[in-house]
Structures are given as C-alpha cells and as structure tokens.
C-alpha cells in the first residue's frame, strides 16, 4: 500500500516538473531561446543569454543535446552548431557539421539570427529561434 | 512570382523584381515544419527571361578581351552565356537572410538574377560592423567619421545613420567577375557610375568556395525596362551624364564594352552606368589601336542606345522622327567612315551639351546670366560700411540646375569698427552656409534643403553671429541683409532691413522686398506718400536688422525669372536717392550690367550721395530667343 502511495507521489512530482518545464517564462530582454517544433515527446526549450551560448549536437557536452527523442537525430553531428552573442546579435555558427545547418530552409555557415527564424540541424531536427530584442537594435 | 509592376516572372524567394526592382509581395512561408526531402533541394529553377520590355541590344561584336587568358563571357542579354546553370543544378544554392559573408557583409535579402541568364545570385547586404549611408549623398560613412567623406555633411554619430546597402553578387566561379575585380581595384568614383567595391572568395559551409563581388546598391529601374520612346530632353540629359561617365572611365583606362539600356540604372539623382562584367582595364602599353577603337565603340554604343530610347528603333534610319537639332548627332554617330564618327565620349558629350543648351524649355547653362556690382562710399560719409557678395556657379556639365548664383548686399550700421564688421560678418555667414548646403550638394547632384526655410535659417545664423560679436566687443552694431539665391530660373530673395531687391524688365520695375523701416510702415498705412518717405526725417530708422534682437524673422520671396528679367539688389544709398523709374531706365539702357551699376552710382551721387551706395545687377542675356 505504502509503495503504491510512494509511486503515485513520485509520478505526481514528475508530472509537476514537466508542467513547470512547459511553462518557462519568456526570457528577459537580450535573452533568447530555441524551441523545438517537431518532437513527439513534447517541445523543449533552450535558453541562450549573452553569457550562456548554446552548443547543439548529439554529444553529451552540448547544452542542447539532440538525443533519440528527436526524430532524425542520427543526421545531427556530435558537435553540430553553436549560437553565441557577438556585438549584440546572436550568431549561429555551423561547426562543420556533416549534414548542415539550415536557416529558413537554406543551408547556412554563419548567420545573424532574427526572431522567428527556423533553424534545422541535419535533415529533420528543427527549432524556432525566439529573441526578445531590446528595441534599439530591432531591424 | 510575377512582378506586379512590370509583369516579369521572378524566382519564388525573390523580394525584388529582377527587371524593375519593385519590391515583391511577401515571400511564401518558409520551409514546412516537417521537411523530409533532401536538404539540398534545388531552388525553383529560374524562369527563362520573358520580359518583353526591350528588344535585345543592337548587335555589337563581343568585346575583345586583351590577351587570351579569358574567353569572352556573355553579352549582356545573356543568351550566349557559357556558364553552366549552377543554380538549377543545385551546386550553387542561395544563402539564407542573415548569413554573414567573410565576417564582413550580412545578407539582408535575396535579389535574384541581376541579369537573366547570368547564373549569379545577387543579394542585398549591409556591412556587419560599419558602413552607414550618409543621409545627404548615400555615400559610405565609417565609424569615427564626423563628416561624410563624399559630401562633407556633418555627422554626429555614424551609428545612428541607416546602414548603407550593397549589392553582393555570388558565383561558383570567379570567372564572371574577372573584369569587375580589376575595376574594383581602381576605386573609381563618379556621379554617373555605380561604384564597384571589392571582390573576395569565401566558403560559407562545406568545401565549396564561392566568389563575391560587391558594388553599391542603387535604387531604380534599368533603362531597358522603360517604355519607348522617351522624351527628347530627358534622353539627351541622360546621354550627357552617361557620356561624361564614359569619358571618366576612358580617362581611367577602362573600356565599358557593354553600354546599353541593360547597363544603365535610372536613379533619383540621374542615370548611372553599371554592369562592368565585360569591361576592360587597359594596361600600360596597350596597343593604341585597341584603345582608340574601344573608346569609339563605347561612344557609338551609347549613341545607339540614345537613338533607341528616342525613337524605339534599333538602328539609325535616314530621316528619323526626331527634332532637327538632334539629328546631326546621330548622323555623325552612324557615319560609315569611322574617321567621321565620334572618337571619344568627350566629343559626344560636347555635342549633346551644345544641343541641350540651345533647346527650349531647359534651363540654359552658364554664361547667360551676367552680373555687375559696385559699391561707393557716397559724397557725405567717410566710411563705406556696405558690403556685397557675388558668388556664381555656372556649371556647364548638366543641362539642369546648371546656374546657381548667390548675391548679397548688406548695409552695416554702428560706425567705425562696427558697421563694416557687421555687414562683412553677415555676408560671410550667408556665403559659407549657401556653399555648404546648396552649392556643394548641387555640384554632386545631391538634394538641397528647402530653400525658403534655409534662407530664413541662415539669416537667423547671421543675426546670431553679429549679435554675439557685438556683445563680445561691447559695441552696438547691426546690418541690413538682402540675399538673392538664383537657382536655375528661380530667384529666392531673403530680406531683413531696408536694402532692396528689384525685379526689372521692359514692362515694369517691381520692388520685391518690403523695407523694414518706419517710413515704409507710414507709407503702407497711408500716413505719408512714397515721395515724402524719401525725405522724411526718420527715414533711416529701421525696426528689423541683423544683430539687433536675439531672434530675427527674414522675409523670403520666390520669384520666377524669365528671359529678359533683371534682378537688382541695392542698399538704401541708391533707392533713397533716385526713384524707381530712373533705376529701371538706367538698367535697361545699359546692356552691360557693370556699366549699369556704375551709372546708377553716378546718378545716386549726383542726387546727393548721402549714404554708402551699393548695387548688384543680375541680367539675363537671352537676346535672340
């Protein structure tokens, strides 16, 4: 009986944690995030700040790790891409990935990101880049 | 995607029409969410050029390329291109917006093919870190500039300016840019050409190197997209600008080799020659024949283009439907014997200029306005506190906005070390401001400010300068100021005080300005007559001067000038001594304005010469028209 209650409790905690994850607050101005668009297990978000670049890839060392929960994850390289702030813009760098990084469907090497662009790593793993730009640098 | 403006079919992602550069409606939604197809899906293949706008350029032999290092590329029409269609083959895929090239340029939008069939991708780009556009001249401003390096406009903070836009063309081989890359090295800069900035290679991803050529982004349609025929004066004006641009290229040892409506963009500031794809940079020791023939060929191509724009006909036919004065140009351009044709663009420019100058309806260039001026101390005063300025720009290169003149008369007050200082200072402030804001931009075909507001503004500036100086010196000084700024056939007159501007012709003498004097008010309110005003004891009292109060309001008048009109500016030493009909008679009796000025001063001295006498006469010489 106790075991069942404990199990229920654990499940509840997991559920709450997941809910929390879904309701992440919008990043403060100057911050940005990537949000996955086609992950059957639910969307994920990766916050990027000027001091906290996002590294993307299959490897464990990446902040945004593409694991088997993303369809098409095999086409993502171990160290695939990185997004970091340079001169007040977030810049996407493809790290010589095998299958390429795409911005709005076009293959990219180094790209200055704008709010709302679609970034695809490899063949299928796709994210939308959201940025809350301070008004001065808009455009 | 079809252009709503000209109907040309463009590539799907294009944001601007490749033919007329009209912005196209919002591009279709980007990649679908789940994209399973091959990542290097080719772009929508470029649709063959269906633009019916202009017939292909008159057949000109493909340019000879010096040496045999390079083969002739393509003609401008692109029909004979030998480059494989790399875009369609998927080898060269377009880069996304925001892509950073070589850590220097950021792609803002894709433009599509510059010329159909060239197999290049063209982007609109800005510089990543620097490269702002001067608000006045669109010239490139760098970080740290406090003045525009091209027009001298003052800049407080470059980063507040809009980013300068560039056209970046991309190719998988360096071949299309072979010639332009040579041209870029010359750093040519001329009003009539689109500057080519640099060439570089860069590998955006993978291992496929791409080649890029950067030039100015210029807004406007190609001449090839305009309906035919075009108005005569318009075409001749373009022709003159282009002939001068060609002459500049030839001076710099460059042959364009592809002059045609597909190589000329019509902008706000006039026409600009572009498309240096088959241009040729002549090295030292090029055979003289090559140079001479090349220059003649460029000039002939230009004449051919002008003919086509004027008539819609591809080649010269005897008895063309053109005005008589224009025909000789094309007769000479088509002379079967090359010795009789145009050898240089300069020769064509000279002829075009001559025809343009003699055409009705176009403001006539330099030499038609003659100016005389004189200033005399008078017979009573010991000191001449009056000042005058004549600054005239007769530009013989453009058929429009050719004549600009600034004429100022200032009557200083306050005695020794004051009156002449005040008048001199006011004149100096006016001249400097007009030079910087009107004459220099005018020379560069850049926009000038709203003249009427500008004149009010410079009167205020002169007022501030004189007043500050007077306060610093602890003296009381002031000056009247009458300014005439003549631009083309319009005179703008600004006035503070009781110096006057008159418009004189055979039918009338009209005082343009209103004196800011007590007696003028009395006359205006009917208390005294104009004749009484001349001898009124308080006739020297003026209620508005430069240097008196902190704020001064100048009256500004706009006067259209016609053939035979004269403008006369004078201090009250003239207008207070002799009456208007006498002034009119003296001005009209003397063909030479300088003689007229001297006669006016003599007349004023004979009538008493109580004050300093200063007069400027601007006479339009249009006899025979």
Rounded to an integer, what distance in angstroms lies between the CA atom of residue B431 and that of residue B452? 16
Closest CA to B235 of B264, B255, B257, B195: B264
pLDDT of residue B29: 35
B35 in contact with chain A, both atoms CB, cutoff 8 A: yes
Closest CA to A111 of A132, A91, A130, A137: A91
Chain B residues with beta carbon closer than 8 angstroms to that of A37: 33
Are B374 and B336 in the same domain?
A: no
Query: Quick check: B75 and B116 in contact, CB under 8 A?
Result: no
- Nearest C-alpha in B relative to A112: B98
Give a yes or no: residue B31 inside a domain.
Answer: no
Give a yes or no: residue B416 inside a domain.
Answer: yes
Give a yes or no: residue A1 inside a domain.
Answer: no
Are B321 and B400 in the same domain?
A: no
pLDDT of residue B400: 45
pLDDT of residue B393: 79
Mean of all residue pLDDT scores within chain A = 86
Are B209 and B241 in the same domain?
A: no
pLDDT digits (tens, 9 = 90+) for B502-539: 999 888 898 999 888 888 888 888 788 877 887 888 77
Give a yes or no: residue A14 inside a domain.
Answer: no
pLDDT digits (tens, 9 = 90+) for A28-53: 667 899 999 989 988 899 999 888 89
B103 vs A110: CB contact, 8 Å cut-off? yes
Rounded to an integer, what distance in angstroms lies between the CA atom of residue A22 and that of residue B318? 81
Chain A residues with beta carbon closer than 8 angstroms to that of B103: 110
> Residue B423: enclosing H or E segment and its boundaries?
helix B419-434
Give a yes or no: residue A115 inside a domain.
Answer: yes
Closest CA to B383 of B410, B418, B428: B418
Facing B39 at nearest CB: one of A100, A112, A113: A100
| Sheet hosting strand B196-202, strand order edge to edge | B100-101, B105-112, B121-127, B166-171, B210-216, B196-202
- DSSP at B270: E
Paired with B500 in beta bridges are B570
Q: HSE on the CB side for B283, CA within 13 Å?
A: 5
Give a yes or no: residue A3 inside a domain.
Answer: no
Note the pTM of the prediction, 2 decimals. 0.56
Backbone φ and ψ for B60, nearest 5 degrees, come out as: -120, 140
B569: exposed, middle or buried (Cβ count in 10 Å: 0-12, 13-18, 19+): buried
pLDDT of residue B530: 79
> Residue B523: enclosing H or E segment and its boundaries?
helix B518-524
Query: What is the pLDDT averaged over residues B22-51?
Result: 37
State the smallest CA–CA distance between residue B19 and chain A in angstroms: 24
B582 in contact with chain A, both atoms CB, cutoff 8 A: no
Tokens matching residue B100: 């950073």
Chain A residues with beta carbon closer than 8 angstroms to that of B128: 87, 112
B288 in contact with chain A, both atoms CB, cutoff 8 A: no
Rounded to an integer, what distance in angstroms lies between the CA atom of residue B314 and that of residue B304? 8
pLDDT of residue A115: 92
Confidence band (pLDDT; 50, 70, 90) for B475? Answer: confident
Lowest mean pLDDT among B46-60, B200-214, B318-332: B46-60
Give a yes or no: residue A87 inside a domain.
Answer: yes
B204 vs A108: CB contact, 8 Å cut-off? yes
Closest CA to B473 of B509, B421, B511: B421
Facing B94 at nearest CB: one of A94, A106, A110: A106
- DSSP 3-state assignment of B596? helix
Are B164 and B270 in the same domain?
A: no
Query: Quick check: B214 and B315 in contact, CB under 8 A?
Result: no
Share of chain B above pLDDT 90, in %: 37
Confidence check: pLDDT of B44 > 90: no
The number of folded domains in chain B is 3
Cα of first residue to Cα of last residue in chain A, in angstroms, is: 61
Are B454 and B599 in the same domain?
A: yes
pLDDT of residue B171: 87
B600/B33: higher pLDDT: B600
Last residue of a domain, one of B358, B380, B408: B358
pLDDT digits (tens, 9 = 90+) for B354-394: 888 776 554 443 346 788 999 999 988 888 999 999 988 77
Q: How far is CA B348 from CA B266, B288, B325, in A?
A: 20, 20, 14
Are B314 and B227 in the same domain?
A: yes
Rounded to an integer, what distance in angstroms lies between the CA atom of residue B29 and that of residue A50? 30
B586: domain CATH number is 3.60.40.10
Q: Give the other-Cβ count within 10 Å of A5's Cβ.
A: 9
pLDDT of residue B43: 33
Give a yes or no: residue A12 inside a domain.
Answer: no
Lowest mean pLDDT among B320-329, B454-463, B591-600: B320-329
Query: What is the pLDDT averaged over residues B49-69?
Result: 34
Domain that holds residue B310: 223-358
- Sign for the CA dihedral angle at B243, B113, B228, B365 comes to negative
- List Cβ neighbours of B348 (8 Å cut-off, separation of 6 or more): B239, B243, B299, B302, B303, B329, B333, B342
In b/e form, how buried is each residue of B528-555, taking b as 16+ CB within 10 angstroms?
beeeebbebeebeebebbbbbeeebebb
- Sign for the CA dihedral angle at B361, B367, B371, B372 comes to negative
Closest CA to B129 of B106, B112, B155: B106
Are B417 and B520 in the same domain?
A: yes
A25/B420: higher pLDDT: B420
Confidence check: pLDDT of A127 > 50: yes
B284 in contact with chain A, both atoms CB, cutoff 8 A: no
Q: Which residues of A touch B (CB under 8 A)?
A: 37-38, 87, 91, 94, 99-114, 117-118, 120, 123-124, 126
Rounded to an integer, what distance in angstroms lies between the CA atom of residue B593 and that of residue B619? 7
Are B527 and B616 in the same domain?
A: yes
3-state SS of B439-506 is HHHHHCCCCCCCHHHHHHHHHHHHHHHHHHHHHHHCCCCEECEEEEEEECCEEEEEEECCCEEEEEEC
pLDDT of residue B116: 52
Are B135 and B246 in the same domain?
A: no
Give a yes or no: residue B50 inside a domain.
Answer: no
- List Cβ neighbours of B21 (8 Å cut-off, separation of 6 or more): B219, B220, B221
A63: domain CATH number is 2.60.200.20
Give a yes or no: residue B245 inside a domain.
Answer: yes
Confidence check: pLDDT of B479 > 50: yes
Rounded to an integer, what distance in angstroms lies between the CA atom of residue B181 and that of residue B168? 13
pLDDT of residue A28: 65
Rounded to an integer, what distance in angstroms lies between the CA atom of residue B251 and that of residue B193? 14
pLDDT of residue B561: 79
Are B447 and B318 in the same domain?
A: no
Tokens matching residue B195: 């500057």
Mean of all residue pLDDT scores within chain B = 80
B99 vs A118: CB contact, 8 Å cut-off? no
B95 vs A117: CB contact, 8 Å cut-off? no
CA angle B197, B201, B203 (to 5 degrees): 135
Are B182 and B319 in the same domain?
A: no
A13/B483: higher pLDDT: B483
Q: How far is CA B532 from CA A66, B97, B384, B535, B542, in A?
A: 99, 77, 26, 6, 16
Give a yes or no: residue A23 inside a domain.
Answer: no
Facing A106 at nearest CB: one of B34, B95, B106: B95
Angle between helix B232-251 and B345-358 (nearest 10): 150
Tokens matching residue A61: 């060392």
pLDDT of residue B252: 92
B565/B501: higher pLDDT: B501
B279/A22: higher pLDDT: B279
pLDDT of residue B395: 65
Query: What is the pLDDT averaged over residues A114-135?
Result: 89
Rounded to an integer, what distance in angstroms lies between the CA atom of residue B411 and that of residue B564? 28
Q: Which residue has the tokens 């004050």?
A: B611
B47/A124: higher pLDDT: A124
- Sign for the CA dihedral angle at B593, B594, B596, B601 comes to positive
Backbone φ and ψ for A120, nearest 5 degrees, come out as: -120, 130
pLDDT digits (tens, 9 = 90+) for B81-90: 334 445 554 5
Confidence check: pLDDT of B594 > 50: yes
Chain B residues with beta carbon closer than 8 angstroms to that of A117: 96, 98
B31 in contact with chain A, both atoms CB, cutoff 8 A: yes
Last residue of a domain, one of B191, B216, B241: B216
pLDDT of residue A29: 67
- Sign for the CA dihedral angle at B486, B492, B495, B501 comes to positive
- Indicate if ipTM > 0.85: no
Last residue of a domain, one of B216, B245, B260: B216
Closest CA to B405 of B567, B549, B535, B294: B567
Give a yes or no: residue A102 inside a domain.
Answer: yes
- DSSP 3-state assignment of B47? coil
Are B509 and B587 in the same domain?
A: yes
Chain A residues with beta carbon closer than 8 angstroms to that of B34: 38, 124, 126
Query: What is the pLDDT averaged over residues B438-445?
Result: 78
Length of chain B: 625
pLDDT of residue B78: 34
Q: Which residue has the tokens 């299958």?
A: A99
Domain that holds residue A112: 28-137
- Nearest C-alpha in B relative to A95: B205
Confidence check: pLDDT of B415 > 60: yes
Chain A residues with beta carbon closer than 8 angstroms to that of B30: 104-105, 118
- Nearest C-alpha in A relative to B39: A123
Query: What is the pLDDT averaged over residues B273-298?
Result: 90
Give a yes or no: residue B19 inside a domain.
Answer: no
Lowest mean pLDDT among B97-111, B149-163, B508-522, B559-573: B149-163
The number of folded domains in chain A is 1
pLDDT digits (tens, 9 = 90+) for A102-116: 999 999 999 999 999
CA angle B191, B192, B197 (to 5 degrees): 75
Rounded to an integer, what distance in angstroms lies between the CA atom of residue B339 and that of residue B445? 35
């Amino acid at each position: 009986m106790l075991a069942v209650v404990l199990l229920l409790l654990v499940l509840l905690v997991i559920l709450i944690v997941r809910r929390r994850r879904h309701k992440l607050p919008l990043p403060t101005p100057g911050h940005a995030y990537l949000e996955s668009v086609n992950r059957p297990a639910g969307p994920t978000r990766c916050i990027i700040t000027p001091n906290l670049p996002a590294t993307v890839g299959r490897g464990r060392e990446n902040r945004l790790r593409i694991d088997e929960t993303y369809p098409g994850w095999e086409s993502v390289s171990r160290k695939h891409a990185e997004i970091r702030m340079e001169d007040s813009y977030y810049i996407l760098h493809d790290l010589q990935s095998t299958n390429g990084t795409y911005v709005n469907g076009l293959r990219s090497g180094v790209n200055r990101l704008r709010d709302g662009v679609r970034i695809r790593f490899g063949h299928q793993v796709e994210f939308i880049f959201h940025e809350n730009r301070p008004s001065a640098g808009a455009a | 995607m079809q252009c709503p403006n000209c109907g040309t079919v463009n590539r799907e992602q294009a944001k601007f029409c490749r033919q007329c550069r009209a912005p196209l409606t919002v591009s279709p939604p980007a990649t679908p969410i789940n994209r399973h197809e091959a990542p290097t899906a080719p772009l929508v293949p470029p649709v063959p050029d269906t633009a019916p706008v202009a017939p292909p350029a008159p057949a000109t032999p493909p340019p000879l390329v010096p040496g045999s290092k390079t083969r002739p590329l393509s003609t401008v029409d692109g029909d004979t291109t030998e480059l494989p269609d790399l875009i369609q083959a998927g080898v060269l895929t377009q880069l996304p917006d925001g892509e950073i090239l070589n850590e220097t340029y950021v792609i803002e939008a894709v433009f599509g093919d510059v010329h159909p069939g060239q197999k290049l991708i063209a982007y609109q780009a800005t510089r990543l870190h620097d490269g702002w556009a001067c608000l006045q001249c669109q010239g490139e401003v760098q970080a740290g500039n406090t003045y525009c390096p091209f027009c001298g406009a003052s800049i407080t903070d470059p980063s507040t300016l809009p980013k300068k836009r560039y056209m970046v063309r991309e190719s998988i081989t360096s071949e299309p840019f072979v010639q332009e890359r040579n041209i870029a090295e010359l750093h040519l800069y001329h009003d009539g050409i689109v500057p080519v900035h640099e060439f570089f290679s860069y590998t955006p991803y993978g291992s496929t190197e791409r080649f890029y050529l950067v030039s100015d982004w210029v807004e406007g349609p190609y001449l090839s997209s305009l309906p035919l025929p075009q108005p005569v004066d318009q075409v001749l004006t373009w022709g003159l600008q282009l002939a001068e641009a060609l002459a500049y290229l030839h001076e710099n040892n460059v042959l364009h080799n592809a002059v045609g409506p597909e190589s000329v963009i019509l902008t706000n500031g006039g026409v600009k020659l572009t498309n240096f794809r088959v241009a040729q940079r002549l090295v030292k020791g090029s055979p003289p024949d090559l140079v001479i023939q090349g220059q003649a060929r460029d000039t002939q191509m230009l004449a051919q283009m002008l003919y086509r724009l004027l008539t819609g006909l591809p080649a010269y036919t005897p008895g063309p439907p053109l005005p008589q004065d224009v025909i000789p140009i094309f007769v000479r351009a088509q002379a079967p014997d090359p010795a009789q044709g145009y050898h240089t663009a300069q020769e064509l420019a000279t002829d075009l200029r001559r025809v343009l100058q003699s055409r009705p309806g176009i403001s006539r260039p330099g030499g038609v306005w003659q100016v005389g001026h004189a200033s005399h101390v008078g017979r009573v005063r010991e000191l001449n506190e009056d000042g005058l300025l004549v600054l005239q720009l007769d530009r013989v290169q453009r058929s429009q906005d050719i004549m600009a003149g600034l004429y100022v008369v200032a009557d200083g007050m306050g005695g020794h070390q004051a009156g002449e200082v005040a008048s001199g200072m006011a004149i100096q402030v006016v001249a400097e401001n007009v030079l910087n804001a009107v004459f220099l931009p005018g020379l560069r075909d850049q926009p000038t400010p709203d003249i009427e507001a500008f004149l009010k503004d410079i009167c205020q500036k002169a007022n501030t300068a004189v007043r500050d100086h007077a306060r610093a010196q602890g003296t009381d000084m002031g000056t009247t100021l009458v300014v005439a700024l003549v631009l083309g056939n319009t005179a703008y007159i600004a006035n503070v005080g009781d110096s006057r501007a008159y418009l004189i012709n055979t039918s009338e003498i009209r005082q343009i300005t209103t004196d800011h004097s007590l007696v003028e008010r009395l006359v205006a309110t009917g208390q005294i007559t104009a004749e009484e005003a001349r001898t009124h004891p308080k006739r020297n009292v003026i209620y508005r001067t430069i240097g008196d109060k902190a704020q001064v309001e100048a009256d500004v008048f706009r006067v259209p000038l016609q053939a035979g009109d004269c403008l006369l500016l004078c201090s009250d030493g003239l207008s207070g001594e002799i009456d208007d009909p006498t002034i009119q008679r003296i001005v009209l009796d003397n063909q030479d304005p300088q003689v007229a000025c001297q006669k006016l001063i003599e007349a004023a001295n004979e009538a008493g010469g109580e004050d300093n006498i200063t007069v400027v006469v601007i006479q339009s010489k249009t006899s025979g028209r």
